[in-house]
Amino acid sequence: MIVVKAWILLMILLNLSFEGKVMKIRIRRKLLVYQLGKRSGRSVVVFCGILLQIKLMLSSWLLSSGLQGGECIKWEEALQFEHILSRILWVMENTLNPQLIEKSVGLLLSMLESQKEVEHILLSPLMKLGLASVLVNLLTFEMSKLTNDRIPERYPVLDVILRALEALCVIDVCSQEICSNKEIFQLVCDLIKFPDKVEVSTSCVTAGLLIANILSDVPDLASSISQDLPFLQGLFDIFPFTSDDSEARCALWNVIARFLVRVREDEMSASNLRQYVFILLSKSDVIEDDLFDHQFDEKKENESLATSGRKSDARTLALRRITSILNKWNALKDSCEKDMMEDYATNEKICRLLDICHGHTM
């Protein structure tokens, strides 16, 4: 009887979806999620099993609704069985349909974003079944597609994969496995260096957050990027896409600070130092715009930090390192060829950027 009722309810929803009756299906979906949540755990288990026998693309939105509803614990308990989780992971890794990948990873994201006690029901078994490996494979594939083909329909897939990885890297149960994975780190760093960021701006912002979280757990990884100038340039290029996201801006400054503290300007030749100076000066407008546009946020943040007994860290540190690099370049003026100085670092630009940095590190 449970199976028959579940099939009837499901068929009503699918028929409505095929007929394009959006409002009706939303109402019926909420009703179905509510009614199932009120029933026994076995009812939900049976229903979840039925859903996974049909196209996951047609059922993931319903499962996601259940996971985000008031009875989400019953839904997660129903999904925790190995054969159900294995089926979800298999679909994620083996389908060639980008929409199905997006929906299946989106289902995973719904699990991660549900209530705290519910989150732990599913994470351990998913990690044991190879969730991290599946996400790495998906990210590798999508980055390959982005680099070689640039198919707009795949951009949402890349974004939801990155969001899932970002969610995982801050959860104790799985943060170590995600953050210590050098392949993930290399892939997201490659995305930061992607030239046409407008096309994948949301993914680039998420990549910045993910890198900041990874470096927070595994600081030594910063050594592998400390001389990667296209990476530094890519970080600054993301700022225009973070105007309404203070967390993302803080994450970018955090990564930039970790990058710049490893720059040894006193040990560099003039030609090598010039490359760093050139990038900093070429991005001086971005730096100034970000600092100017968010002066009020910065003031509130500093007041909050002062109250808690802490000092503003990443942005201030990054600006001080920029100041140090520019001052070192100024000290080398007399020993550099004239054309080198004129091409890459005019006095006016240097003085302007030094003033900006000084004004925000007082």
What is the three-state SS of 49-67? HHHCCCCHHHHHHHHHHHH
Residue 165 lies in a domain: no
- Residue 21 φ/ψ, nearest 5 degrees: -85, 80
Entry pTM: 0.79
Is 287 domain-assigned? yes
- Does some domain include residue 4? no
| Distances 362 to 78, 129, 258, 289 between C-alpha atoms, Å | 56, 51, 21, 18
Q: What is the pLDDT of residues 136-186, one digit of tens each?
A: 999 999 999 999 998 999 999 999 999 999 999 988 888 899 999 999 999
Does some domain include residue 70? no
Tokens 């701006």 sit on residue: 201
Whether residue 312 is predicted with pLDDT greater than 50 in this model: the reply is yes
In a domain, 117, yes or no: no
Nearest CA-CA partner of 100 in 138, 56, 140, 151 = 56
Residue 81 lies in a domain: no
Residue 139 lies in a domain: no
Number of domains in the chain: 1
In a domain, 307, yes or no: yes
Quick one: which of 237, 228, 243 has its CA closest to 186?
A: 228
> Residue 310 has what pLDDT?
39
Q: Which residue has the higher pLDDT, 65 or 315?
A: 315
The pLDDT of 241-263, averaged and rounded, is: 94
Domain carrying residue 329: 263-362
- CA-CA distance, 130 to 134, in Å (whole number)? 6
